[in-house]
Chains A and B, each alone.
Chain A
């Protein structure tokens, strides 16, 4: 049952871990370097952290180190892990690019912030490569610890402290649920290794124990994704945290949480998927309804994006509930696309904000077209893509998960999804309406003079259109990642 414990490790165990080792090593180096950088030259820390992420991205894209299962099956690097890690590292890098000017202007930039983002990225990479329940838990805690600290980093702000407090309390509750589920699974199968668990389940007598454990693990995953009814922390954290931190939490960790769902629910308790399908479909349905209905009532754009996250997670779970190769490929496609869209949406908020002014209310976007047509056009792209209007990327991802749900025999969920997508159009289109058809209110916002930010946001938002016209390569990549599933 268990792998032989006393086999020595060899140097051959290290290469697949190379990207993580480089990332963690550079995070430690950066932490030391930052001590010698004066407050005026903090851009040095910022640039070095970007360089570290760029190196890791290059290593992942070119496949340095090769794939394989190492460290007694603790660490698995397969195509699915590589796809998710590439996305995670790219999006974390974008967080740093977007966040630099915002944090510096508000005196929030500390050397620890990029260091914590690098460590959080490393946690996500471990999470999606986990081959054992223990690694899933450690990766998750590394990510969560960094996220808590980042949310609390603005200590002068009461909202931020409140958000961090809520996040920590609910996050530890979710960790507890997850651990409890893991302990039940361990009790039923006698192993922490996901592949051993997968083999042991079909001939296990302990059905009740296994299913109870799996249900608790799903609750833990649902919390990390932000699926209703475990979404309570999302709106407060998005509103309270500094915008770049909200951007970080809303983008890459969603991808990592999908990776965690894949590792736990497919690679771990996969043989139970028929029993668990209805539960996941139910979570998807509740998330779709609650997310979309609550988003309509919001006047704060960040809170609206939080509830729209809940509804997008509903779509993502629809793909997971559909199951199989097609379902997971569609869900991964959705997670990647959602993370890019969410990055762009928060990027727009950052680009429109100035020191002392947050462009976080929908009111603030009134008449944006008259003042800054280029910016309004970009926000139009982002909102249309989030709503899922045809040529944009958001449409194709919704189509893919709906197809997966129908294939998985969940026609009712697919119909609910379409209805909710129509409801969702309302509040996204409201932002567009406010920008184009309302009169500007208050004094004009000064134009951003940050060329880098403007350029990156332009590329990011227009990518939603470009990828919407040429989405096939990403979908093929996602399908390759899950080709081994039935």
Chain B
């Protein structure tokens, strides 16, 4: 068993165990943390077989997006700041475990890369044949053979935005909201009203007594 195989088993077991934990732990925040570990372990597997672009994209997109999800869960559970602080302490051990596991995985990956004798993407024939990096190869395929599906995927995303806006944008009366269109079309005259007034004699109010007192002192 060479180093690459050992590393693969470590990553695969980590991914499986944490994926099981995602659906078995009761605490939603712990589940999200385990999901982060799952994604990260799978990204490590992909890096191991030489699909570096996919691995990096997984970390950037999914781990990044899941962190946002994580925040949402915490925000929706309770907004009370003292409880939030309690939560921070409570979640710290699991968070630390996940972080340490991720660190170990990174170290394994770097170590294996150093020890591997064969060129690293051992069975990535396509990358070797094209004699170019994974990213170049992927980009070329995406913009030649898969150009049409790529464009239609873009149309699908547009439709998703249109549908989401159509279903959520509603104008209700009695709600204070800004209208940027009206805000930018405002004229100076609407902001400031100039009023012509005759000069008035100063009126001594009951609360301006100290001022009157100052006048009389010298």
Contacts and interface: CB of A to CB of B under 8 A. Distances in A.
B97 interface: no
B167 A152 contact: yes
A141 B153 CA distance: 9
Nearest to A131: B148
B160 interface: yes
Interface stretch (A4-12, A238-246, A277-285): A4-12
A9 B147 contact: yes
Given A142-B159, A145-B160, A148-B163, A8 B144 contact: yes
Interface residues of A, number: 34
SS class, residues of chain B in contact with chain A: helix
Nearest to B165: A112
Interface in B166-218: 166-167, 170
Nearest to B143: A9
Contacts of A9: 144, 147
Interface in A290-321: none
Contact of B166 (A24, A132, A141, A149): A149
* Chain A interface main SS type: helix
Contact of B140 (A6, A24, A141, A145): A6
Contacts of A132: 149
A97 interface: no
B145 to A, nearest CB: 4
Contacts of B149: 74, 132, 134-135, 138
Nearest to A141: B156
A147 to B, nearest CB: 10
B145 A142 contact: no
A5 B156 contact: no
Interface string A114-134: 011001001000100000101
Contacts of A6: 140-141, 144-145
A5 B138 CA distance: 11
A8 B162 CA distance: 33
B10 interface: no
A72 B149 CA distance: 11
A77 B163 CA distance: 29
A122 B155 contact: yes
B186 to A, nearest CB: 21
11 contacts: A5-B144, A5-B145, A24-B155, A110-B166, A138-B156, A142-B152, A142-B155, A145-B160, A145-B163, A153-B167, A155-B170
Given A71-B148, A135-B149, A138-B153, 4 more contacts: A5-B144, A71-B147, A134-B146, A146-B159
